[in-house]
Amino acid sequence: MSVQGIAAELAKALNSSEEYRGFIQVKEKVKEDPANTKMLADFQIKQFEIQQLQMMGQEISTDKQQELERMYSLLSLNPSIKEYLEAEFRFNSLVNDVQKILAEAIQEAVPVMFEQE
């Protein structure tokens, strides 16, 4: 089987995984409530903004970190959103594990500028 064929099989396995199916189910449940959807979207936007700053090498202010933590604490009090965040974490953990396995397998292909001596 070709590498692309194996990748397609991996995609199917991810798609049928308990983590993925559970996440999609919880996501649909959250989307049924517009208030939950808005709160979650606002949190994700803040989270994304902070991740962007980190990727650009900028320091994150304590205020921004605390604001994100406060938002997370408030969201965690909502059972539907808490369930969403937990399901998202489980699915992301699965995807990260797969990415780590792939990265380790092809570590020799890292561009020279990223190699550490």
CA atoms of 25 and 21, how far apart (whole Å): 6
Q: How far is CA 116 from CA 96, 107, 110, 112, 113, in A?
A: 23, 12, 10, 9, 8
CA atoms of 43 and 67, how far apart (whole Å): 10
Give the end-to-end CA distance of the chain in Å, rounded to a whole number. 36
**What pLDDT shows up at residue 114?**
72
List CB contacts of 106: < 8 A, sequence separation 6 or more: none
Measured CA angle at 48 (ends 42, 49), to 5 deg: 90
**What pLDDT shows up at residue 86?**
97
**What pLDDT shows up at residue 109?**
82
Residue ranges covered by each domain of the chain: 18-97
Segments of the chain scoring below 50 in pLDDT: none
CA atoms of 50 and 82, how far apart (whole Å): 21
CA atoms of 90 and 25, how far apart (whole Å): 13
Helix ranges (H only) for 1-117 are 3-15, 18-31, 34-55, 62-76, 79-105
**What pLDDT shows up at residue 107?**
85
**What pLDDT shows up at residue 117?**
62
pTM: 0.83
**CB distance 8 to 2 below 8 Å:** no
